[in-house]
């Protein structure tokens, strides 16, 4: 395997700080719940929360996607649901990568049923060219059209999450 560095620690730090400023300016004193999608978003989420000038509530979800081997259909399963009531609060979902959009579409529908004021999505990496659903990402760290990426929370077979930069993994 070959690792090709796409975004280094300095680039990530600068971009996360900018996103923190944008998010803080948007929400101000409004009631906000920031939701980390585990496991991949943990590094981005932690750094983003530290770069906010506001004080949101935080919570976590974990989604698992199981693909039917006979079709392209996949089934989303919660293995960890939120604990905070989001009714009449703004919700910011923080994800590592949004590509096809299926996971974010599923999570958004689940959260909409809980009557939040709004739902927005922040992602470290947006692969909009791979989008198969109508999912809009409101805050994008970096746009990327292709490549299997690891580092900064992103994994390959549960490895490489600890890397402080984002790499394209060539097999």
Catalytic residue annotation: 99
DSSP code for 156: B
SS (H, E, C) 101-165: CHHHHHHHHHHHCCCCCEEEEEEEEECHHHCCCCCCCCEEEEECCCCCEEECCECECCECCCCCC
Q: What value, to the nearest 5°, has the Cα angle with vertex 12 and ends 51 and 42?
A: 65
Helix 42-50 and helix 9-27, axial crossing angle in degrees, nearest 10: 60
Report the C-alpha gap between 142 and 11 in whole angstroms: 10
Which residue, chain included where needed, has tokens 């994994």?
155
Report the C-alpha gap between 25 and 28 in whole angstroms: 6
19: closest CA among 39, 43, 49, 40? 49
């Amino acid at each position: 395997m070959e690792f090709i560095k796409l975004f280094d620690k300095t680039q990530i730090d600068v971009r996360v700080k900018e996103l923190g400023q944008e998010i803080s300016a948007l929400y101000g004193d409004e009631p906000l719940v920031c939701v980390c999608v585990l496991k991949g978003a943990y590094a981005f989420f932690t750094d983003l929360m530290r770069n906010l000038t506001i004080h949101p509530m935080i919570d976590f979800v974990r989604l698992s996607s199981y693909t039917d081997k006979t079709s392209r259909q996949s089934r989303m399963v919660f293995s960890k649901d939120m604990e905070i009531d989001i009714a009449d609060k703004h919700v910011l979902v923080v994800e590592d990568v949004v590509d096809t959009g299926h996971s974010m579409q599923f999570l958004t529908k689940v959260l909409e049923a809980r009557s939040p004021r709004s739902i927005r999505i922040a992602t470290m990496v947006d692969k909009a060219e791979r989008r198969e659903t109508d999912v809009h990402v409101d805050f994008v760290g970096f746009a990327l059209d292709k490549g299997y990426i690891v580092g900064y929370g992103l994994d390959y077979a549960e490895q490489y999450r600890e890397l402080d930069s984002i790499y394209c993994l060539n097999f």
